[in-house]
A and B are shown apart, each in its own frame.
Chain A
Amino acid sequence: MKKLLKSGNPYIWLTAGTLTVCLLMIGGLIVLIMINGLGVFWPHRIAKMTLQDGAVVLGEIAKRESIPHQKDSYRTKLKVGNRDVYGMDFRWVDNANIVSCEYPTESLVFERREWGNMYGFLKGLKQGDDIKPVDLKEMTVLLGTSRALFKKIRRIEKKEIGNINYDMEKYRLELKRLTFEQPTERIQKKTAAIRAHIDALERSYREKEDMLTGLYTRAREKEIVALLADGTEKAMPVLQIIRVYAPNKMGFFAKIGFYFEKLWEFVSGEPREANTEGGIFPAIFGTVMLVLIMSIAVVPLGVLTAVYLKEYASDNIVARFVRISVSNLAGVPSIVFGVFGLGFFIYFIGGGIDKLFFPESLPSPTFGTGGILWASLTLALLTVPVVVVATEEGLSSVPTSIREGAYALGATKFETLWKVVLPQATPGMLTGMILAMARAAGEVAPLMITGVVKLAPSLPLDSHFPFVHLERKFMHLGFHIYDVGFQSPNVEAAIPMVYTTTLVLLFTVLILNLTAILVRNKLRKWYSTTSI
């Protein structure tokens, strides 16, 4: 035994074993998320079950599990959809109760803009009191026209009416600003001109509204009738339906095509139905933009701090205290930073900016409320220790001989630092930035009080001058996960979305990091061959 311990082998096993456990945990985590997240968009078969009491249910089989305390008995969780009819999406069925189970080829999934999926059969198009039968092909044509109509409606709602509202708000604020000034003749003239503008805008607004009403009525005219599993008929406007498909008829490749179509919709679309359906594009956009602004803020802050600490500050008690404090800052709970951001950035600085530059919109705040800028700066504070430590290490790694070489050529301390030391320490700084980005992308708690929202009406980047709107609230993948998984009215149906969103978050962080690593390697090469 003693001999074995002395040989050192057990320690190798110990370290290797620990590494294996760590790898397994990380691997397991990713695999679990992948399994749960990647399967969401796969079109599952629709089962039609006849139960012992004569009832017929139609839906996707979501889960099968044994009933506790009863031997050899199972129950099945069926996603029956039709939330507007049944009140809930899922239904448990005891396997003992199932008389027969089949997969009818004609059964369809109606993906709707509201109320989730509907499972059933297509009866036909409603025409007055009659129902004219249609097949899937005709249905596709119908859906095409309704999609074009929907796009038009959305464009009017979001773009045209949005622009009118934007201009109206601008003029309203200008009008208010004018009331602060002395009512000279010039001002009165201006006021009158603005009022005329507002009147014109209001007129065009009413025109658009009329147009919209017309479009909506036209859209609602066409209704289709679906036959549900229990034989009831359900009529709904074609406009409500996004797509209709028959998973039982689909071949493998059709399913793959369908899968990627849905996946693309997920990453590029906007959320629907309290975020439980549709896409998560605004959240991806918000996350990326947040991390980028954070990086822009954190790098100069951290690098300058580190340069002073390492190069200029003498190694006395104060410097050591500062260094320890900076390192300890990394251990402060992130929510504390959130509170600080709320108190300092939002109320103090944001409030100050509002008073100085946006007095006309008070009491409703412009910068004095949560927004992407304040959230980014809060995260920058949170991650600054990482950058400081990495930069200090980068600076230490520059050999004394290189510094002496520069000094011996008559360079001053600053010239040596700026032209020789800093370029060589750049990889260290970028490593710090990469670590900071990884940390910031996953942070949610401080965002919740500095500007993240469940649903942001507009992105922080758009076509209105000045294009970047740093005061706007934003969506974030991390918060989206929390919101969909735990705050949504329909948690059960939303759980697959949680996994998929998590997967997207992981990928986003991965892509951000890979980009930063590529940039670092490029820079490393570049610095070794250019004059800077």
Chain B
Amino acid sequence: MVQHNIDIKRLKIPEPIVVITDLSLYYGKTLALKEITLDISKKKVTSFIGPSGCGKSTLIRCLNRLNDLIEGVTIEGNIKIDGQDIYAPAIDVTALRKKVGMVFQKPNPFPKTIYENVVYGPRVQGINKKSVLDEICEKALKKAALWDEVKDRLRTSALDLSGGQQQRICIARAIATEPEIILLDEPCSALDPIATAKIEDMLVDLKKDYTVIIVTHNMQQAARISDYTGFFMLGTLVEFNITTEIFTNPREKQTEDYITGRFG
């Protein structure tokens, strides 16, 4: 039996940066997200888990309005980032996307050099001075824990790197635009355990400067790196709590079934 307690529905957390209230999303007539209400804390790692098709990716794509690109999407409810309604008509979508960076499931570096991949965002923002770009590139690559591996071949194609390195290039690319929030959509699903471990270490470091929201299929990963975890099923948020609570003392039966591997 699912019983929603009002207090559980909106968990009290310190310093909420993202405030989602009663968010529902339709693809055409199909309901994909149902009345999600959720706060996300600043400079913490928040992970979303749940079986495939439960709407967790859809939710994070709402946060940088990437769903706008898909035809026939309608959204109800509202999302506030830094107190600003991001679906308000006056909002500048490109500015929002600079503030909310994203890393995708499959590494998608542009077919350009490593350097040009990383400085793509700053270039779009109109920064063209070479010394500034060099500095941004170095800083971003260091944060993405990739600098030592690629510093000697910044001018070679990013496509020549391994999958794990490509994914870190994508993370560096997202960092280079100086976002406040970084969304990661199953960033390790295409990678081997060693590459995954590297990225996980890096994500924990990133917490110092950024709010990290990660969608993952891997429950151990969520348990290892995140401070808060949300469990989704069939478009609804079943449970949202501090990670240790979710994994040691789930309140909902469905959550317990999922994390103990009874289904999913």
The chain A residues found within 8 Å of chain B, CB to CB, are 399, 401-412, 415, 419-420, 423-424, 527-531
Contacts and interface: CB of A to CB of B under 8 A. Distances in A.
B159 interface: yes
Nearest to A528: B111
A405 B110 contact: yes
The 3 closest A-B pairs by CB, nearest first: A410-B98, A408-B102, A409-B121
A403 to B, nearest CB: 8
Nearest to B92: A410
Nearest to A405: B108
Contacts of A527: 111-112
Given A401-B106, A404-B69, A530-B112, 16 more contacts: A401-B104, A402-B110, A404-B102, A405-B104, A408-B101, A409-B98, A409-B124, A410-B94, A410-B177, A411-B94, A411-B121, A420-B110, A527-B112, A529-B156, A530-B113, A531-B113
10 contacts: A401-B108, A405-B104, A409-B121, A409-B173, A411-B120, A419-B124, A423-B111, A528-B112, A529-B112, A529-B156
A529 B104 CA distance: 22
Interface string B109-137: 11111001000110011000000000000
B174 A410 contact: no
Interface in B13-60: none
Interface of B: 64, 66, 69, 94-95, 97-98, 101-102, 104, 106, 108-113, 116, 120-121, 124-125, 155-157, 159, 170, 173-174, 177
Contacts of A531: 112-113, 116
A401 B159 CA distance: 14
Contacts of A419: 120, 124
Contacts of B156: 529
Given A409-B174, A410-B124, A528-B159, A404 B98 contact: no
A405 B94 CA distance: 13
A405 B69 contact: no
A399 to B, nearest CB: 7
Contacts of A402: 108, 110-111
Contact of B124 (A399, A415, A529): A415
A404 B64 CA distance: 11
A409 B94 CA distance: 8
A402 B112 CA distance: 12
Contacts of A409: 97-98, 101, 120-121, 124, 173-174, 177
Contact of B155 (A399, A403, A415, A529): A529
A163 B104 CA distance: 68
B97 A407 contact: yes
Contacts of B97: 407-410
Contact of A530 (B64, B104, B116, B159): B116
B108 A404 contact: yes
Contacts of B121: 409-411
Given A410-B94, A410-B98, A404 B177 contact: no
A514 B62 CA distance: 48
B66 A411 contact: no
A173 to B, nearest CB: 50
A527 to B, nearest CB: 7
Contacts of A411: 94, 120-121, 124
A404 B121 CA distance: 13
B173 A424 contact: no
Contact of A399 (B98, B108, B116, B120): B108
Contacts of B155: 529
A310 to B, nearest CB: 15
A162 B106 CA distance: 68
B128 to A, nearest CB: 11
Contacts of B112: 527-531
Contacts of A415: 124
A106 B101 CA distance: 90
B144 to A, nearest CB: 15
Contacts of A420: 110
Nearest to B106: A401
Given A399-B108, A406-B120, A528 B101 contact: no
A256 to B, nearest CB: 48
A491 to B, nearest CB: 56
Contacts of B109: 405
Contacts of A406: 110, 120
Tell which of A406, A411, A420, A529 has the most Cβ of chain B within 10 Å: A529
A409 B179 CA distance: 9
A530 B111 CA distance: 9
A408 B187 CA distance: 15
Contacts of A529: 112-113, 155-157
A399 B109 CA distance: 11
A415 B124 CA distance: 8
Contacts of A401: 104, 106, 108
Contacts of B69: 403-404, 407
A426 to B, nearest CB: 10
Contacts of B170: 405
A64 B12 CA distance: 104
Contact of B94 (A412, A423, A424, A530): A412
A313 B97 CA distance: 24
B119 to A, nearest CB: 9
A516 B236 CA distance: 55
Contacts of B113: 529-531
A402 to B, nearest CB: 5
A415 B97 CA distance: 14
Nearest to B119: A531
Nearest to B111: A528
Nearest to A398: B111
A415 B173 CA distance: 16
Nearest to A424: B111
A423 B157 CA distance: 14
Nearest to A409: B121
Given A399-B108, A528-B157, A529-B155, A407 B66 contact: yes
Nearest to B170: A405
Nearest to A314: B71
A172 B112 CA distance: 58
Nearest to A403: B69
A36 to B, nearest CB: 47
Contacts of A403: 69
Given A401-B106, A528-B159, A410 B111 contact: no
A409 B171 CA distance: 11
A412 B156 CA distance: 26
Nearest to B104: A401
Contacts of B104: 401, 404-405, 408
Contacts of B110: 402, 405-406, 420
B212 to A, nearest CB: 15
A401 B102 CA distance: 12
Contacts of B124: 409-411, 415, 419
A423 B111 CA distance: 9
